[in-house]
């Protein structure tokens, strides 16, 4: 009888221990229950750039996973391709310029695309010259051969806005080329002697500088002012059917934004390194520092009304605003406000 009791007691202790270990494995470091199965969310990003560092931080630091999300990121070069992918159901969330949501709405979409979490708040491009110039001034662009970005996209519109700000009419004072596909602009610049200047994203601009193929002479981001340059957005129907998912997603983005604000360029570069396996680490540090110092990374996911109006003013100046759209029509700040309060 004593042997049986001893065996039973030992078995009970083992059972309790196994249950405790299982419970520990089912909770995170904050003692909150981990979801048994991760929910898949597909992101279509307009380009792969260190400009989007907080997005990659959210993935590499496990912020998406902590929220129970299995996030995949696919690059779909160009705003038109990214929006097509979202609308056709090839992605759940798009990371692209907010102007694309206005274009879709103006076409009479019955399922409009809603901006719900801003990621970047300035232009992310740099003016790159074919020849080194330590004494660049904007008036030197007059008469130059300029390879611009796609018509109707944020880089092109902000680029023209900045040029006009410096007294340059891009269509009269430049020999402007705008018919090169977004994904091929960088290669077109280095492979041809026909261009003196080009508008490029990072890390491409810094890579060209290191290789002697071009030299950064100015930042469009410093000149643009705050604008919802790149935003996470989803179809209205998806947001209504997946309210909890959108909230979890936004919370992860906000955590990443806060992490980026409180960590060094080197730490951020290490976090995003897996997404840029072919980019020199020193270049990544330089690029992160450049974007962070000019305030390109949004510190929270809220796209406010002032930024929205600034965007429409830039579009109007470029002749690309199909119709004015009220902030509350295509922007949802309720989710961002909710996650920030928590």
pLDDT tens, position by position, 61-105: 999 999 999 999 999 998 999 999 999 999 999 999 999 999 999
pLDDT of residue 126: 95
Q: In which residue are the tokens 């402007």 written?
A: 176
In a domain, 103, yes or no: yes
User: Do residues 94 and 71 share a domain?
Assistant: yes
Strand-pair category, 145-147 with 175-177: parallel
Rounded-to-integer distance, Cα 203 and Cα 5, Å: 69
- Indicate whether 28 pLDDT > 70: no
In a domain, 153, yes or no: yes
Q: What is the mean pLDDT of residues 190-217?
A: 94
User: Do residues 133 and 272 share a domain?
Assistant: no
- Indicate whether 288 pLDDT > 60: yes
User: Do residues 233 and 95 share a domain?
Assistant: yes
In a domain, 10, yes or no: no
User: Do residues 276 and 310 share a domain?
Assistant: yes
User: Do residues 314 and 220 share a domain?
Assistant: no
Q: Which two tokens mark 283?
A: 């270049």
**pTM, whole model, 2 decimals?**
0.82
- Indicate whether 12 pLDDT > 70: no
Q: What is the mean pLDDT of residues 41-56?
A: 96
How sure is the predictor about 309, in pLDDT bands with cuts at 50, 70 and 90?
very high
Question: Of 164, 193, 224, at which residue does a domain stop?
Answer: 224
Rounded-to-integer distance, Cα 90 and Cα 46, Å: 14
User: Quick one: which H or E segment has residue 117?
Assistant: strand 113-120
Q: Which two tokens mark 226?
A: 């705050």
User: Do residues 306 and 170 share a domain?
Assistant: no
Beta bridge partners of 145: 175
Greatest mean pLDDT range, 47-51, 153-157, 335-339: 335-339
How sure is the predictor about 31, in pLDDT bands with cuts at 50, 70 and 90?
low
User: Do residues 136 and 173 share a domain?
Assistant: yes
User: Do residues 182 and 274 share a domain?
Assistant: no
Per-residue pLDDT tens over the stretch 134-188: 999 999 999 999 999 888 888 889 999 999 999 999 999 999 999 898 889 999 9
pLDDT of residue 26: 47
CA-wise closest residue to 125 among 242, 213, 22, 230: 230
User: Do residues 197 and 145 share a domain?
Assistant: yes
Strand-pair category, 230-235 with 93-96: antiparallel
Distances from the Cα of 154 to the Cαs of 24, 263, 265, 295, in angstroms?
48, 28, 26, 17
CB of 291 closer than 8 Å to CB of 297: yes
User: Do residues 104 and 243 share a domain?
Assistant: yes
Question: Of 224, 239, 266, at which residue does a domain stop?
Answer: 224
In a domain, 243, yes or no: yes
In a domain, 333, yes or no: yes
Question: Of 224, 245, 275, at which residue does a domain stop?
Answer: 224
- Name the residue with higher pLDDT: 206 or 23: 206
User: Which residues have C-beta within 8 Å of that of residue 160, sequence separation ≥ 6?
Assistant: 148, 170, 317, 318
User: Do residues 231 and 337 share a domain?
Assistant: yes
- The count of structural domains within the chain is 2
User: Do residues 235 and 291 share a domain?
Assistant: yes
In a domain, 293, yes or no: yes
User: Quick one: which H or E segment has residue 95?
Assistant: strand 93-96
User: Quick one: which H or E segment has residue 217?
Assistant: strand 215-219
Percent of the chain's residues with pLDDT above 90: 80
Per-residue pLDDT tens over the stretch 228-285: 999 999 999 999 999 999 999 999 999 999 999 999 999 999 999 999 999 999 999 9
Rounded-to-integer distance, Cα 116 and Cα 233, Å: 6
Percent of the chain's residues with pLDDT above 70: 89
Rounded-to-integer distance, Cα 24 and Cα 3, Å: 32
- Indicate whether 123 pLDDT > 50: yes
CATH of the domain at 73: 3.40.190.10
CA-wise closest residue to 105 among 334, 328, 333: 328
pLDDT of residue 23: 44
How sure is the predictor about 36, in pLDDT bands with cuts at 50, 70 and 90?
low
CB of 252 closer than 8 Å to CB of 58: yes
The radius of gyration of the chain from alpha carbons, rounded to an integer in Å, stands at 24
Write down the H helix ranges in the chain.
2-25, 53-60, 63-66, 79-87, 99-106, 154-165, 185-191, 204-211, 220-224, 236-241, 243-261, 265-272, 281-293, 305-317, 327-330, 334-341
Q: Which two tokens mark 47?
A: 């380009």
Average pLDDT of the residues of the chain: 89
In a domain, 33, yes or no: no
In a domain, 30, yes or no: no
User: Which residues have C-beta within 8 Å of that of residue 134, sequence separation ≥ 6?
Assistant: none
Report angle CA 288, 290, 295 to the nearest 5 degrees: 95
**Phi, psi dihedrals of residue 168, rounded to the nearest 5°:** -115, 125
SS3 state of residue 45: strand
Range of the domain at 149: 125-224
């Amino acid at each position: 009888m004593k042997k049986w009791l001893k065996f039973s007691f030992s078995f009970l202790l083992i059972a309790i221990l196994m249950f405790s270990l299982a419970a520990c494995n089912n909770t995170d470091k904050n003692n909150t229950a981990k979801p048994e199965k991760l929910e898949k969310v597909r992101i279509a990003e307009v380009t792969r750039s260190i400009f989007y560092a907080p997005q990659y931080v959210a993935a590499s630091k496990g912020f998406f996973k902590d929220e129970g999300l299995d996030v995949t990121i696919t690059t779909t070069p160009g705003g038109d391709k990214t929006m097509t992918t979202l609308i056709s159901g090839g992605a759940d969330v798009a990371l692209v310029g907010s102007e694309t949501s206005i274009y879709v709405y103006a076409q009479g979409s019955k399922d409009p695309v809603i901006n719900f979490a801003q990621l970047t708040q300035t232009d992310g491009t740099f003016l790159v010259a074919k020849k080194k110039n330590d004494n660049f001034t904007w008036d030197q662009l007059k008469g130059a051969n300029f390879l611009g970005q796609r018509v109707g996209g944020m880089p092109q519109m902000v680029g023209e806005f900045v040029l006009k700000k410096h007294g340059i009419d891009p269509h009269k004072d430049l020999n402007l080329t705008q018919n090169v596909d977004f994904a091929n602009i960088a290669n077109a610049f280095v492979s041809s002697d026909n261009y003196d200047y080009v508008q490029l994203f990072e890390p491409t601009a810094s890579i060209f500088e290191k290789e002697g193929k071009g030299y950064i002479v100015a930042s469009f981001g410093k000149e643009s002012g705050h604008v919802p340059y790149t935003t996470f957005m989803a179809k209205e129907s998806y947001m209504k059917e997946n309210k909890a998912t959108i909230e979890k997603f936004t919370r992860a983005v906000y955590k990443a934004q806060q992490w980026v604000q409180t960590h060094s360029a080197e730490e951020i570069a290490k976090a995003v390194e897996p997404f840029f396996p072919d980019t020199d680490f020193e270049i990544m540090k330089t690029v992160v520092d450049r974007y962070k110092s000019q305030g390109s990374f949004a510190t929270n996911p809220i796209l406010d009304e002032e930024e929205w109006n600034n965007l429409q003013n830039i579009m109007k100046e470029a002749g690309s605003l199909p119709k004015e759209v009220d902030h509350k029509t295509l922007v949802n700040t309720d989710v961002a406000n909710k996650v920030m309060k928590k």
